[in-house]
């Protein structure tokens, strides 16, 4: 029987999805981050499928989302996007440390994935944490600097004033350079990496991940360790096909 357990890890609200009889055993771990304005519960189907295959799946709520939601407008939340990504990155290490402390990770097998904002988090995490053994990016961008500039352009088109001065924007872009995987491909270290993206995505540009993949595959001694799944005509919503393909791929590499 697959169990869904609501708990906290280092004060982070999470759902743990795991085979009930193996709840206290060390298992391969997969940590999956939800998208912007979503919540941990929205990825239960994916987590269930992975738990069936023997993984302990951790679904955290990002800052200002789910159980951590605060009373703020969508516009206020939009301007916290990168703060949330950075918080995700810090909390990813916290979650991993807590699982380690409790002896719940088998053979150091830890994978990380995410949807949209969660996929952006995942790509950035690969620049920081060599302990990640496999990663899945579902319609995320491994080019945070480019994506941040696109976000600024999108806001400017609406006529809504940016709460940042030009100097602050430059500071943001500079800080994002440090977690921009597209400029640090050597940090992939040949680790298994899966991309899925709909080529009609109006939110996160398809080209970001597709162009990255075409460059990154040149660095892989085993090209089967990096996979890009393109879904023709798909917009900014993960399909069941994408989830099934991701789950099957992860089982091969982690």
Q: Summarize pLDDT for 62-106 with one digit per residue, the tens.
A: 999 999 999 999 889 999 999 999 999 999 999 999 999 999 999
Could you tell me the end-to-end alpha-carbon distance of the chain, in angstroms, rounded to an integer? Answer: 22
pTM: 0.97
The per-residue pLDDT for 88 is 98
Pairing of the two strands 12-19 and 56-60: antiparallel
Q: Model confidence over 24-45: pLDDT tens digits?
A: 999 999 999 999 999 999 999 9
Beta carbons of 213 and 219 less than 8 angstroms apart: no
How is 130-148 classified by DSSP, letter by letter? TT--EEEEES--S-HHHHH
The per-residue pLDDT for 164 is 82
What are 8's strand-pairing partners? Answer: 13
């Amino acid at each position: 029987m697959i169990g869904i357990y609501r708990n906290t890890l280092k004060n982070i609200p999470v759902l743990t999805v795991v085979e009930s009889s193996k709840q206290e055993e060390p298992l391969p771990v997969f940590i999956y981050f939800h998208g912007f304005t979503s919540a941990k519960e929205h990825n239960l189907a994916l987590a269930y499928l992975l738990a069936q295959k023997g993984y302990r799946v951790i679904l955290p709520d990002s800052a200002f989302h789910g159980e951590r939601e605060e009373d703020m407008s969508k516009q206020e939340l939009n301007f916290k996007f990168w703060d949330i990504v950075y918080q995700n990155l810090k909390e990813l290490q916290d979650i991993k440390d807590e699982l380690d402390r409790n002896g719940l990770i088998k053979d150091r097998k830890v994978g990380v994935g995410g949807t949209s904002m969660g996929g952006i988090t995942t790509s950035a995490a690969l620049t920081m944490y060599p302990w990640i053994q496999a990663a899945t990016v579902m319609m995320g961008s491994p080019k945070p600097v480019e994506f941040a500039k696109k976000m600024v352009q999108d806001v400017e088109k609406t006529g809504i004033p940016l709460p940042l001065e030009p100097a602050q924007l430059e500071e943001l872009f500079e800080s994002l350079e440090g977690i921009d995987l597209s400029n640090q491909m050597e940090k992939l270290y040949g680790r298994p990496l899966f991309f899925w993206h709909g080529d009609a995505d109006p939110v996160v540009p398809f080209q970001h991940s597709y162009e990255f993949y075409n460059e990154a595959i040149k660095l892989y001694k085993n090209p089967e360790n990096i996979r890009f799944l393109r879904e023709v005509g798909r917009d900014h919503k993960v399909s069941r096909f994408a989830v099934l393909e991701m789950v099957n791929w992860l089982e091969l590499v982690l």
